[in-house]
Structure 1
Amino acid sequence: MRNRSILPLLLAVLVVLAIVAFGGAGLLGRQTEGPTPETASSRTPTPGGAATSPAAKQSPPQRGANPSSLPEIRESALPVEGRRVLGLIRAGGPFQYSQDQQVFGNFERVLPVRNRGYYREYTVPTPGEPDRGARRIVAGDGGEKYYTSDHYATFKYIAEGS
């Protein structure tokens, strides 16, 4: 009899673990993983047939249209550390912090809404800060990049090449 009373509990635990393991996509009102038409078309094929993300490795910056309603900041107006990080993003690294190149969830919904995994974040070091500080660059799979100096409260679209 005891085994029958434990079975529903075990099933409930397994369901909770599955939800946590898969990020509760869809169940908790969060964005789901996987390409959408706009992210799938933004990936460029390589000679081996694999798709690469333009945000991960991008050749010379090209000034594109601002895909958001956010204000712009010229690349030349970024702090020197931000320009350095932008160069590292274009080169594919190496990055100073283990958290760099991790998925940015956009939970604040300040950036245009995209599927989870579309955005990656990078630390812009702040001189004199004992930790990572508040400055970040967030790069989208479409090649667009945004700068925040206040830990995601506000963002500016980076007008690259200017």
Structure 2
Amino acid sequence: MRRRWTVGTLLLGLAVAALAVFNLFIGPGGAPPGPGPQGTTTAAPGFSTSAPAAAATPAPAAAPPSSSVGQTTGVPNAPGLPTIPESQLPAEGRRTLILIRRGGPYPYTRDGVTFGNFERILPRKASGYYREYTVPTPGESGRGARRIVAGQAGDKYYTADHYASFKFIAEGK
């Protein structure tokens, strides 16, 4: 028995295929995937994993890497945000700071992606200014709620509650 294809069925198939290609190459973020830093390939926007990647993928560093792990950036705190000394971050947060300073490699594929600052808690900056990095949470099977958000000028912020609040990280203290 032979299946009869109608124009409507073909158009619907083409529309679905076009949408799939659009999401794969352009996606909701508006930027196509492609070569990332150090020649790596970034994932298509909208795709994420809840578990660490099998092979760590480097992502762009938020600030120039420094050889001194405890070095202070000299970036002033944004008005109204509480401050947390680097030494008071959880151990996982301090390890994430080291990775950010080194420029990776990062254990999660979403580390280093643009943070949109939709909550408007951090100072308003141009799109792409902030990058987010996972601070692993013991006992969590996925990424958990803890993050470090790093600005291009070297400013870094910690959130333990998935962007509901932030603390400015006083590095080197």
TM-score (normalizing by structure 1): 0.66
Match among 108, 124, 149 for residue 113 of structure 1:
124
Specify every segment of 5 or more residues in structure 1 that has no aligned partner in the other structure, as ranges: 1-16, 24-52
User: Residues 22, 154 of structure 1: CA spacing in aligned structure 2 closer, same or farther, 3 A cutoff?
Assistant: same
4+ aligned runs moved over 4 Å, structure 1: 20-23
2:15 maps to which residue?
none
2:83 maps to which residue?
72
Match among 65, 85, 94 for residue 58 of structure 1:
65
Match among 155, 168, 171 for residue 160 of structure 1:
171
2:96 maps to which residue?
85
Counterparts of 1:136 and 1:21, CA distance in 2: 20
Q: CA RMSD in A?
A: 2.4
Structure 1 residue 62, shift from structure 2 partner: 1.5
1:33-48 matched pairs, under 5 angstroms: none
Taking every aligned residue pair, what percent have the same amino acid on both sides?
A: 60
SS at match of 1:88: helix
Specify every segment of 5 or more residues in structure 2 that has no aligned partner in the other structure, as ranges: 1-21, 32-59
Match among 133, 149, 169 for residue 138 of structure 1:
149
Number of aligned positions between the proteins = 118
1:93-108 matched pairs, under 5 angstroms: 93-108=104-119
Counterparts of 1:54 and 1:73, CA distance in 2: 21
Counterparts of 1:158 and 1:75, CA distance in 2: 6
SS at match of 1:147: strand
TM-score (normalizing by structure 2): 0.62
- 1:76 alignment partner AA: S
SS at match of 1:90: helix
Structure 1 residue 58, shift from structure 2 partner: 2.5
